C-alpha cells in the first residue's frame, strides 16, 4: 500500500496564544500613557479669566455683561462691522463651562482641574478606539486609533472649555455609529450650546449621516432608523440654539477673520501640516487608507473626511477635530491581516507602551497637579497688593487674566486673552513696541490716553523668545518719567509716582531681570532656548557685542 499522507500529523503546531491578561494590561498601559501625556501643569493663561468669570457668574447669577474685569473692554469704536457681536459672544458663549470650572477649582483646586482635563482627553481617545472596535472588531486597530487621536490631543492639554467640544463630538459620532441613545443627543446639544460654541461641528456629523441615508434611499437600500435620524437631527440643531447667542456661532467664526486680534493669535493660524506629527499622520494617512479601500468606504466617511480636513487646515485649534473624526476613519480602514498578530509582536506592543510611560515620567511633565507659577508675575501682584496701588495698569496680553485673579476688584486689566477691544489691542502693540510719534500716537501719548499709572511687564515673548522693546526702552538711565520699583525673574513694575517709602531701583537692573527670566525659562523648558537668542539680539542693538556673543553662543549650544 502507498504510504499515508502524514502532513497533518506532522504539521507545525500553531503559535501559542498570548496570555488572556495581556490585552487588559495593554489597555491599562495605554490609559496610563495617555494620563502622562495629558496631566501637565496648568500653563494656559486663559485659565485665570475662566475661573474669575465662572466665580462672578455663579455668585451674581448673571452673565458677565458688561465686562467687569478690563477697563478697555467697552470701547465703542469698532474696527470691523461685527465687533460688538463678537465681544458679546466672547463674554457669554462659555458661561456654563466657566461655572463648572469654578466649582471644580473650589472643590479640588488645581489638582482637580488637571485631573478633570486629563480624564476628558482620555475619554475622548478611548471613544475613538471603541468606535473603531465597533467597525472592525480589531483590538490592536482600536488601540492604534486611540493612540493616533492622543498624538493630536496632546497639543490641547489645557484646562479650557473647548475640551467639551472634543468629547461631545466623539459622543455624537458614537451615537450615530450605533444608532442607539439617539434622543440623548438632544439634551447633549443643549448642554453643548452653553458649554462651548463648537456645537455646530456636531451639525456636520448629523448632516453627513442624513446625506448618507438619503443616498442609500435613492439606491433602494435599507436605512435602519432613518426616520429617527432625521427627527433627532432637526431636534439637535434646534436645541443647540438654546443659549445666550442662539445659532450665531458660525457667524462669529466668520467675523473672526476680520479681527486683527484673532489673526495674530497662534491658535487661529494655519497648521504646519507638512511637518511630521500626529496630525499629519491622520491627515495624510487617513486619505491614503480611504483611497486604498475606496470600495469599502461609507458615503458618510467620504463627506466627513474632506470637511474636517479642510477645517483643520484653516486653524491650528481645529486640528483636534480631524484628530477625532479622522482617527476613527484611520483605524477603520487600516489593512486587515489574515494571520493573527505574533505573540512576540503583542509583547513588543506592551513594551513600547511601557517605554512611552517611562519617558513621560522622565521628562517631569506627568501628573503636574499645579499651576505653572514660574510663568506668572506673582512678584508684581504681591507688590501692587502690598502697597494698595489702584492706579490704572498697563499689562502684557498673556498676564491680564492672572492680574485680575490676584487684584480684582481693586484693579482691572488693560488687556487680556479674551481680546475684547480691537482699538485697545492696536494701541497695546504700539505701546509694547515703544512706537514713536510718526504714523500715529507715540507710546507715551497712548499711555496718557488711557491714564496709565503703572506698567506691569515681562521680559520677553514666550512663543518667539523676542525681548519686549518697552522694558528695554525704559531701561535707559536718561528717561525719568517711569521709575522701576519692582524687578525679579518673572516681572518688572514701573510707576510714574512710586508709593511712599518705595525707593526706585536703577533702570539698568532691567537687563539683570531679563537675563534671570531667560534662565528661569530654560530651567523649566530646556527645549525652548529662543529667549537666549532674543537677548543676544537686544545686546547687539544697544552695542554690547561681548554680551551678545555670549548669549548667542549659549543659544546655539542649547538649540543643537
Q: What's 144-168 look like in SS3?
A: HHHHHHHHHHHHHCCCCCHHHHHHH
Per-residue model confidence (pLDDT) at position 6: 45
- Sheet of 454-457, strands arranged across: 393-395, 454-457, 492-495, 483-487
Cβ atoms 282, 148 nearer than 8 A: yes
Per-residue model confidence (pLDDT) at position 76: 64
530646556: which residue's cell?
526
Per-residue model confidence (pLDDT) at position 11: 52
- Would you state the cell numbers that stand for residue 479, as one nine-digit string? 528717561
The distance of Cα 302 from the centroid of its chain, to the nearest Å, equals: 28
Per-residue model confidence (pLDDT) at position 8: 46
Write the pLDDT tens digit of every residue in 87-138: 999 999 999 999 999 999 999 999 999 999 999 999 999 999 999 999 999 9
| CA gap 172, 175 in Å, rounded | 5
Among residues 208, 323, 252, the alpha carbon closest in space to that of 80 is found at: 252
How far is it between the farthest Cα atoms of the chain? 118
Residue 460 — φ and ψ, nearest 5°?
Answer: -150, 165
Under-50 pLDDT residues of the chain? 1-2, 5-9
Strand 492-495 versus strand 454-457 pairing type: antiparallel
Per-residue model confidence (pLDDT) at position 458: 93
Per-residue model confidence (pLDDT) at position 15: 58
Cβ atoms 74, 424 nearer than 8 A: no
Per-residue model confidence (pLDDT) at position 284: 96
Among residues 274, 201, 277, the alpha carbon closest in space to that of 236 is found at: 201
- Would you state the cell numbers that stand for residue 329, as one nine-digit string? 476613519
| CA gap 224, 205 in Å, rounded | 17
| CA gap 19, 34 in Å, rounded | 24
Cβ–Cβ contacts within 10 Å for residue 246, how many? 11
| Exposure on the CB side of residue 99, measured as CA atoms within 13 A | 17
User: Using alpha carbons only, how large is the chain's radius of gyration in Å?
Assistant: 28
537686544: which residue's cell?
538
Among residues 200, 212, 211, 208, the alpha carbon closest in space to that of 236 is found at: 200
Residue 527 — φ and ψ, nearest 5°?
Answer: -85, 5
| CA gap 149, 282 in Å, rounded | 8
Amino acid at each position: 500500500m502507498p504510504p499515508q499522507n502524514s502532513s497533518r500529523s506532522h504539521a507545525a503546531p500553531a503559535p501559542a496564544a498570548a496570555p488572556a491578561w495581556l490585552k487588559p494590561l495593554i489597555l491599562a498601559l495605554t490609559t496610563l500613557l495617555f494620563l502622562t501625556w495629558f496631566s501637565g501643569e496648568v500653563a494656559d493663561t486663559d485659565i485665570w479669566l475662566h475661573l474669575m468669570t465662572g466665580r462672578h457668574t455663579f455668585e451674581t447669577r448673571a452673565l458677565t455683561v458688561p465686562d467687569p474685569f478690563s477697563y478697555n473692554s467697552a470701547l465703542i469704536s469698532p474696527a470691523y462691522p461685527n465687533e460688538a457681536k463678537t465681544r458679546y459672544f466672547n463674554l457669554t458663549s462659555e458661561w456654563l463651562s466657566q461655572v463648572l470650572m469654578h466649582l471644580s477649582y473650589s472643590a479640588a483646586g488645581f489638582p482637580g482641574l488637571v485631573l478633570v482635563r486629563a480624564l476628558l482627553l482620555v475619554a475622548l481617545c478611548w471613544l475613538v478606539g471603541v468606535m473603531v472596535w465597533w467597525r472592525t472588531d480589531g483590538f490592536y486597530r482600536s488601540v492604534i486609533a486611540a493612540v493616533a487621536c492622543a498624538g493630536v490631543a496632546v497639543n490641547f492639554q489645557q484646562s479650557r472649555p473647548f475640551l467639551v467640544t472634543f468629547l461631545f463630538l466623539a459622543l455624537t459620532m458614537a451615537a450615530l455609529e450605533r444608532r442607539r441613545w439617539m434622543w440623548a443627543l438632544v439634551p447633549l446639544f443643549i448642554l453643548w450650546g452653553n458649554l462651548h460654541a463648537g456645537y455646530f461641528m456636531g451639525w456636520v456629523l448629523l448632516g453627513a449621516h442624513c446625506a448618507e441615508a438619503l443616498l442609500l434611499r435613492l439606491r433602494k437600500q435599507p436605512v435602519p432608523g432613518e426616520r429617527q435620524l432625521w427627527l433627532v437631527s432637526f431636534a439637535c440643531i434646534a436645541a443647540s440654539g438654546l443659549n445666550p447667542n442662539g445659532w450665531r456661532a458660525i457667524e462669529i467664526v466668520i467675523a473672526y477673520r476680520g479681527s486683527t486680534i484673532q489673526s495674530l493669535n497662534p491658535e487661529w493660524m494655519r497648521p504646519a501640516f507638512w511637518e511630521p506629527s500626529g496630525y499629519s499622520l491622520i491627515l495624510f494617512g487617513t486619505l491614503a487608507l480611504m483611497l486604498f479601500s475606496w470600495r469599502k468606504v461609507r458615503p458618510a466617511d467620504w463627506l466627513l473626511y474632506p470637511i474636517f480636513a479642510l477645517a483643520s487646515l484653516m486653524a491650528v485649534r481645529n486640528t483636534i477635530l480631524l484628530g477625532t473624526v479622522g482617527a476613527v476613519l484611520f483605524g477603520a480602514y487600516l489593512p486587515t491581516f489574515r494571520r493573527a498578530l505574533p505573540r512576540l509582536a503583542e509583547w513588543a506592543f506592551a513594551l513600547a507602551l511601557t517605554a512611552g510611560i517611562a519617558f513621560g515620567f522622565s521628562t517631569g511633565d506627568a501628573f503636574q497637579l499645579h499651576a505653572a507659577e514660574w510663568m506668572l508675575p506673582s512678584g508684581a501682584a504681591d507688590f501692587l497688593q502690598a502697597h494698595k496701588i489702584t492706579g490704572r495698569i498697563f499689562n502684557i496680553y498673556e498676564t491680564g487674566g492672572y492680574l485680575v485673579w490676584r487684584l480684582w476688584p481693586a484693579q482691572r486689566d488693560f488687556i487680556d486673552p479674551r481680546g475684547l477691544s480691537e482699538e485697545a489691542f492696536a494701541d497695546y502693540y504700539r505701546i509694547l513696541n515703544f512706537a514713536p510719534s510718526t504714523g500715529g500716537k507715540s507710546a507715551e501719548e497712548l499711555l496718557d490716553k488711557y491714564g496709565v499709572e503703572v506698567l506691569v511687564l515681562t521680559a520677553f515673548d514666550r512663543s518667539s523668545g523676542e525681548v519686549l522693546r518697552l522694558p528695554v526702552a525704559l531701561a535707559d538711565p536718561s528717561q525719568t518719567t517711569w521709575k522701576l520699583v519692582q524687578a525679579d525673574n518673572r516681572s518688572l513694575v514701573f510707576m510714574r509716582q512710586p508709593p511712599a517709602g518705595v525707593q526706585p531701583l536703577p533702570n539698568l537692573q532691567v537687563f539683570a531681570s531679563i537675563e534671570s527670566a531667560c534662565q528661569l525659562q530654560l530651567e523649566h523648558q530646556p527645549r525652548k532656548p529662543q529667549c537666549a537668542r532674543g537677548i543676544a539680539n537686544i545686546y547687539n542693538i544697544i552695542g554690547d557685542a561681548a554680551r551678545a556673543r555670549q548669549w548667542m553662543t549659549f543659544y546655539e549650544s542649547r538649540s543643537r
